[in-house]
Amino acid sequence: MIMRPSRRDLLKAGIGIGASLAFPSASLYAATASLIQRKIPSTGESLPIIGIGTARRYEAVRTEAERAPLREVLRQFTALGGKVVDTAPSYGTAEAVVGDLVTDLAIREALFIATKLGARGRDAGAEQLEQSFKRLRTPRIDLVAVHNLQDTQTQLRALRQWKQADRIRYVGITTSFDRQYPEFEQTMKAEMLDFIQVDYALDNRKADQRILPLAADRGMGVMINLPFGRGRLFTAVQGKSLPPWAEEFDCVTWAQFFLKYIVSHPAVTCTVPGTAKAEYLLDNLGAARGRLPDAAMRRRMERFIDAL
Ligand SMILES: NC(=O)c1ccc[n+]([C@@H]2O[C@H](COP(=O)([O-])OP(=O)(O)OC[C@H]3O[C@@H](n4cnc5c(N)ncnc54)[C@H](OP(=O)(O)O)[C@@H]3O)[C@@H](O)[C@H]2O)c1
């Protein structure tokens, strides 16, 4: 059953009543119930299944007016129990914006910050990572993943040394390109990795053929990028109502439909939807509450999207 939070509960969570009235009751429910967690296989540390991605909307932020909504997103995210923030040195201003806002809000301890390394050669990699520490304004980064398999072996070797020195906590690799999947799988087989990050969405399910089962076999955490295929899934359902059976897994918006599909895959640890608006944050966190679709329901969701 979806419980409606009281005005007092919402205020306690720091959610403005004016903004919250614009959302369906189940999104408001997101403000008070705790977020579903999954364990990182290599350590057993728990993470909430919905995080935040910072590509694009955090990339060209210059003015206070541009920062203000992002500050509000990060403030509400941590107030509601969110942890995982994914960024990269190649996302323009994103790392610096995250670092500044996290420092202003004094929320570093509450967060799990993931960034990437996209450089060729050991020196260039070290230089880039030092810059990430400075921009993120933190002495320790939770996860650093080799971005899109750039110079993977050299950078993984270096990242392991940073991990040994306790400057980073977890090591991984990322991709969002099908053409990299064979090399990605090879790397997963050959290397010990805490995390992989890969694209996976209700209408883009290639990763579940081999990569997701392999991650489960190898005991690797899985962070999913592009959960909406940027705008693609929203465009596919434009003008359409949610099927009534979405209620069976406590889903009241399309964003929750797409996200609950992803996080109900047993190999998935979390996903990082690009989130730059507080209204989207509340909506997306709703996917980390209530029931998740079971295997049969997941097939039904696939048939639904494939038929559009
Ligand atoms: N190779 C890699 O390592 C790699 C590659 C790609 C992405 N990533 C990571 O994955 C993250 C996610 O990818 P992405 O941000 O490109 O795409 P995405 O998460 O699939 O989609 C983001 C889009 O969804 C919209 N959105 C978010 N929440 C919504 C909601 N509740 N209702 C309606 N629309 C909503 C946003 O709208 P607005 O534009 O209006 O805000 C944005 O345009 C990135 O931010 C990045 O951290 C990593």
227 lines ligand 1 (CB under 6 A): yes
Question: How much distance in Å is there from the Cα of 55 to the middle of ligand 1?
Answer: 7
Over residues 120-151, the pLDDT tens digits come to 999 999 999 999 999 999 999 999 999 999 99
User: From the CA of 166, how far away is ligand 1's center (Å)?
Assistant: 30
Q: What HEC string does the chain produce?
A: CCCCCCHHHHHHCCCCHHHHCCCCHHHHHCCCCCCCEEECCCCCCEEECECEECCCCCCCCCCHHHHHHHHHHHHHHHHCCCCEEECCCCCCCHHHHHHHHHHHHCCHHHCEEEEEECCCCHHHHHHHHHHHHHHHCCCCEEEEEEHHHCCHHHHHHHHHHHHHCCCEEEEEEECCCHHHHHHHHHHHHHCCCCEEEEECECCECHHHCCHHHHHHHHCCEEEEECCCCCCHHHHHCCCCCCCHHHHHHCCCCHHHHHHHHHHCCCCCCEECCECCCHHHHHHHHHHHCCCCCCHHHHHHHHHHHHCC
pLDDT at residue 1 tops 50: no
> Is the model's pTM score more than 0.85?
yes
Q: How sure is the predictor about 16, in pLDDT bands with cuts at 50, 70 and 90? A: low
Look at residue 63 in the predicted model and tell me its pLDDT: 98
Question: Ligand 1: which of 211, 258, 270, 280 to mutate, judged by most atoms within 8 Å of the beta carbon?
Answer: 280
Q: What pLDDT does 111 receive?
A: 98
What tens digit of pLDDT does each residue of 18-51 get? 444 445 555 555 455 899 999 999 999 999 999 9
Q: Is 90 in the pocket of ligand 1 (CB under 6 A)?
A: no
Whose alpha carbon is nearest atom 31 of ligand 1? Answer: 280
> Cβ(95) to ligand 1 under 6 A?
no
Give the pLDDT of residue 33.
80
Q: What is the pLDDT of residue 5?
A: 42
Q: Report the residue among 275, 279, 284 best suited for mutation to probe ligand 1: largest number of ligand atoms under 8 A from its CB.
A: 275
pLDDT tens column, 216-252: 999 999 999 999 999 999 999 999 999 999 999 999 9
